[in-house]
Amino acid sequence: MKFTQNKWLITAVLGLTLAVTMLPACSANKTVTVTGAGSAVVQPTEANPIVFDPANQELRLAAKVNGVAFTQPTWHAVVYTGGKAAGAALFQAFATPDMFYSFLTYFGGVPGNNMPQPPANYADTYVQGSNISISVTWAGASKTYSLNDVVKNPGTKSVQMKFGGNLAANQGVGTGCIACFYSCPFGIVSNASYDGTDNAAQATAGQGGFLGNSSVLPANGTIVVLTFKVTA
């Protein structure tokens, strides 16, 4: 059963149920926490990987830092741990793209769905859709950082994430892509500042992808909290 078809979960969210069991499409024995107005701040964990916070209009995901991305340039910002692309991602999240997509739409996110499908020739297409902000923090962090703060950017343009959509394509390939550093036909969210042509040019110049900034981020395997907001 696909998450997007699960009407009882959406109903539970609207009713601010405190713990909602994930679908079979997601990892077993994990929950979503839904907070109400005036509730204490709850942070996600590996076992409780999503906090849905309507009062603050934000979605918080638990993820772990993948130290591979400190030294190997990557296209992948946030990928589900069970996805095929998780090994290359800077952040490996414990929630599936299906669930992430559904909560973004609840917050008013409008998917662009403009990336060519099937994605044979998408190098010169920049993703469209609602603007999405991503921030990150962790236990012991001195502050909450923007995504731009924690990466080494191969170009000069700041990351501008958009709600690309691409749900059917995402499910079809099984990469687990939640957020991508380049405009992507599979990522639920991806970067409107760069496309595949930019990636190729950056590779020619010496860095074909983003790197995690190890001088800012914690060590490999550290659990972090990623906060997503629909901003426009």
pLDDT surpasses 50 at 69:
yes
pLDDT surpasses 80 at 36:
no
* Greater pLDDT, 221 or 3: 221
Q: Are 53 and 33 in contact (CB under 8 A)?
A: no
pLDDT in tens, 128-172: 999 999 999 999 999 999 999 999 999 999 999 999 999 999 999
**Most confidently modeled range among 6-10, 44-48, 217-221:** 217-221
Q: What is the CA radius of gyration of the chain?
A: 17
Confidence of residue 30 (pLDDT cuts 50, 70, 90): low
pLDDT in tens, 193-205: 999 999 999 999 9
Q: For 209-222, give one letter per residue: b (16+ CB within 10 A) or e.
A: bbbbbbeebbeeee
Domain boundaries defined on the chain: 63-230
Closest CA to 97 of 176, 183, 191, 184: 176
pLDDT in tens, 104-126: 999 999 999 999 987 777 788 99
Confidence of residue 31 (pLDDT cuts 50, 70, 90): confident
Confidence of residue 25 (pLDDT cuts 50, 70, 90): very low
Confidence of residue 67 (pLDDT cuts 50, 70, 90): very high
pLDDT-above-70 percentage for the chain:
87
Neighbours of 5 (CB within 10 A): 10
Q: Are 97 and 177 in contact (CB under 8 A)?
A: yes
pLDDT at 41: 83
Neighbours of 35 (CB within 10 A): 19
Please report, for residues 9, 16, 21, 35, 126, the alpha-carbon distance to residue 12 in angstroms, rounded to integers and kept in the order given.
Answer: 5, 6, 10, 12, 35
Structure tokens at 127: 């993703």
Rounded average pLDDT over 50-73: 95
Confidence of residue 174 (pLDDT cuts 50, 70, 90): very high
Confidence of residue 4 (pLDDT cuts 50, 70, 90): very low
Rounded average pLDDT over 100-106: 93
pLDDT surpasses 60 at 224:
yes
Q: Provide the H-helix boundaries in the chain.
A: 7-14, 97-106, 167-173, 196-205
Q: Are 208 and 199 in contact (CB under 8 A)?
A: yes
